[in-house]
Amino acid sequence: MRGALDCSSGNNQKTMNRAVRILRIINAEKSEFNEDQASCGKLCIRRCEFGAEEDQEWLTLCPEEFLTGHYWALFDGHGGPAAAILAANTLHSCLRRQLEAVVEGMVAAQPPMHLSGHCICPSDPQFVEEKGIRAEDLVIGALESAFQECDEVIGRELEASGQVGGCTALVAVSLQGKLYVANAGDSRAILVRRDEVRPLSSEFTPETERQRIQQLAFVYPELLAGEFTRLEFPRRLKGDDLGQKVLFRDHHMSGWGYKCVEKSDLKYPLIHGQGRQARLLGTLAVSRGLGDHQLRVLDTDIQLKPFLLSVPQVTVLDVDQLELQEEDVVVMATDGLWDVLSNEQVARLVRSFLPGNREDPHRFSELAKMLIHSTQGKDGSPTGEGQVSYDDVSVFVIPLHSHGQGSSGH
């Protein structure tokens, strides 16, 4: 395994105390254990072949490995580590199953209209061509389905065991010369090269998904139970604002307008707070992830889950098309790292660390550790920025250069 992992349980005393009327902020006091979880390993996809007889079911003719890849995943839990632990133990199996279901299409020159390869309409290949459907679209589809399957498993398991909680999920899969990055939550992956820093994921938070969340509350107002307003204002309104024209945004607006404040606008906002403090229904800092099936606004029956998506956004890096350098890496990390270090700062740390440690076989692991240390306010922190993360921090450093091992060796 060439990915380097290090997890810190940096539970430096957290002194957040933002009392919010009837609402308590989850994770305002970090729990005693590390809520980050990680897993990585080789991904072995078996081949299934269609039986000789047309009426035969799919048969596993070659149960041994057929296609291999690598898998790295980070899960940042909230409301306890249960969901993150389940995800770390489950998601890769879901993904393997989803990939095995379409692997015949993935290895064809072009995914066939019919998975069996039978051509019912002579111009079927042309229809697939015109839609621009490629093998990588099957992997993206498999990642999307795997996240949803895993979310359902977590829901069942948590209910059966009487546990609660949710987690973000950031997954990287190296397969057939491409790196797939699937993200649901506020972790982040970036590509760091000598002359380039490229984001490989976007964050999904109540702020970045404001329009989707407001739209849902517009379609299903009952989800707010009369307790919240779906409108966005620069701050929470109060009695003195009644009758005034104040800045606001609704679900269909990218810009801002003014509206005359009515009594219902004084309710607690569906999305409240700025940046790191933004919360969905006063409760959750992320808008995508796994779990949270039972999560409710404190002391109410208002559910969070209808507003959360388990489906990730997937980006594809065509590694074979990059002219790879020895020190090109992907850095994956939970929000604990990105809260205190920008993409550019991480890139500078990578570029200053790797060239001086070429002889160290563990240099990528060491780099991951160094990145974590630099968020912990340890003496000699190479950032010199003085910023300290009070959140859990987990980091993978994935070297992309394959040393002539072929693309499946990442």
Kindly tell me which residue out of 63, 64, 219, 263 binds its own copies, with binding defined by CB under 8 A: 219
Token pair of 114 as six digits: 């019919």
Q: Give the interface segment with its own copies, choosing from 153-161, 235-243, 317-325, 376-384 (CB under 8 A).
A: 235-243
Residue 45, Ramachandran bin (φ over 0: left; ψ between -120 and 50: alpha; else beta): beta
Q: Which residues are paired to 303 by β-bridges?
A: 296
Kindly tell me which residue out of 45, 84, 139, 179 binds its own copies, with binding defined by CB under 8 A: 139
Could you tell me the smallest distance in angstroms from the CB atom of residue 339 to its own copies? 17
Site residues for its own copies, window 265-304 (CB under 8 A)? 274-275
CA 22: distance to chain centroid?
Answer: 30
Question: Measuring CA to CA, how many Å separate 400 from each of 182, 318, 319, 328, 395?
Answer: 17, 11, 8, 6, 16
Contact status: 27 vs its own copies (CB under 8 A): no
Kindly tell me which residue out of 74, 143, 304, 332 binds its own copies, with binding defined by CB under 8 A: 143
Kindly tell me which residue out of 156, 256, 344, 355 binds its own copies, with binding defined by CB under 8 A: 256
Token pair of 101 as six digits: 């279901």
Q: Give the interface segment with its own copies, choosing from 3-11, 25-33, 124-132, 319-327 (CB under 8 A).
A: 124-132
Q: How far apart are CA 367 and CA 385, in angstroms?
A: 18
Tokens 């701050």 correspond to what residue?
235
Contact 296, 289 (CB under 8 A): no
Q: How far apart are CA 155 and CA 170, in angstroms?
A: 19
Q: Is the dihedral of CA 185, 149, 49, 141 positive or negative?
A: negative
Q: Give the interface segment with its own copies, choosing from 41-49, 251-259, 294-302, 377-385 (CB under 8 A).
A: 251-259
Could you tell me the smallest distance in angstroms from the CB atom of residue 101 to its own copies? 7
Judging by beta carbons within 10 Å of its beta carbon (0-12, 13-18, 19+), is residue 24 exposed, middle or buried?
Answer: middle
Q: Which of the 8 DSSP states describes residue 31?
A: -
Q: Which is nearer to its own copies, 48 or 350 (CB)?
A: 48
Q: Which residues are paired to 178 by β-bridges?
A: 175
Could you tell me the smallest distance in angstroms from the CB atom of residue 179 to its own copies? 15
Contact status: 133 vs its own copies (CB under 8 A): yes
Question: Measuring CA to CA, how many Å separate 97 from each of 13, 47, 89, 388?
Answer: 42, 11, 14, 40
Contact status: 60 vs its own copies (CB under 8 A): no
Q: Give the interface segment with its own copies, choosing from 9-17, 32-40, 128-136, 363-371 (CB under 8 A).
A: 128-136
Contact status: 16 vs its own copies (CB under 8 A): no
Contact status: 244 vs its own copies (CB under 8 A): yes
Contact 90, 149 (CB under 8 A): no
Kindly tell me which residue out of 32, 53, 195, 240 binds its own copies, with binding defined by CB under 8 A: 240
Contact status: 185 vs its own copies (CB under 8 A): no
Contact status: 44 vs its own copies (CB under 8 A): no
- Can you tell me whether residue 175 is helix, strand or coil? strand
Contact status: 247 vs its own copies (CB under 8 A): yes
Binding footprint of its own copies on the chain (CB under 8 A)? 101-102, 105, 111, 113-116, 118, 120-121, 123-124, 127-128, 130-131, 133, 136-145, 148, 219, 234-235, 238, 240-241, 244-247, 249, 252-258, 274-275, 309, 311, 313-314
